[in-house]
Amino acid sequence: MVNKYGKEVMKHFTSPEFMGEMKNPSAVGELGNMKCGDIMKIYLKIFEGKIEDISFQTFGCVAAIASSDVLCELAKGKSLEEAKKITNKMIIEKLGGLPSIKEHCSVLGAGALKKAVENYESKKK
């Protein structure tokens, strides 16, 4: 079990590559965290069924910012089906672990991404 933030978490927190609003996104997904009340927004640019670009905005904590940045890294270039399969476990693994009381923060990004994909798919119907 990890009790404090590791190197990888701090790297993604201090210089997140994917943080920011996106102009003219193909879809947006928003999710609130029941435990802490924080909010996450994921923006997607989709081209030919693949995530061409992705970014996030959050009112969340250090763990939420680092998790979302890693989530974007994992999702970029993926098909929508592959993106929906990204779990918070994969995110935590890529971060080299999160303190257990912070694991709920990694659920936010993965959930908001799923919502964004679903929003996109429902618009296409």
Q: What residues make contact with ligand FES under the rule CB under 6 A?
A: 33, 36, 38, 60-61, 63-64, 105, 108
Minimal distance, residue 41 CB to ligand FES, in Å = 13
Minimal distance, residue 119 CB to ligand FES, in Å = 21
Burial environment of residue 109 by CB neighbours within 10 A (0 to 12, 13 to 18, 19 or more): buried
Place of tokens 């904590």: 61
Are 38 and 61 spatial neighbours (Cβ–Cβ below 8 Å)? yes
Minimal distance, residue 39 CB to ligand FES, in Å = 9
83: tokens are: 């993106």
Catalytic residue among 74, 105, 108, 110: 105
Catalytic residue among 2, 10, 36, 90: 36
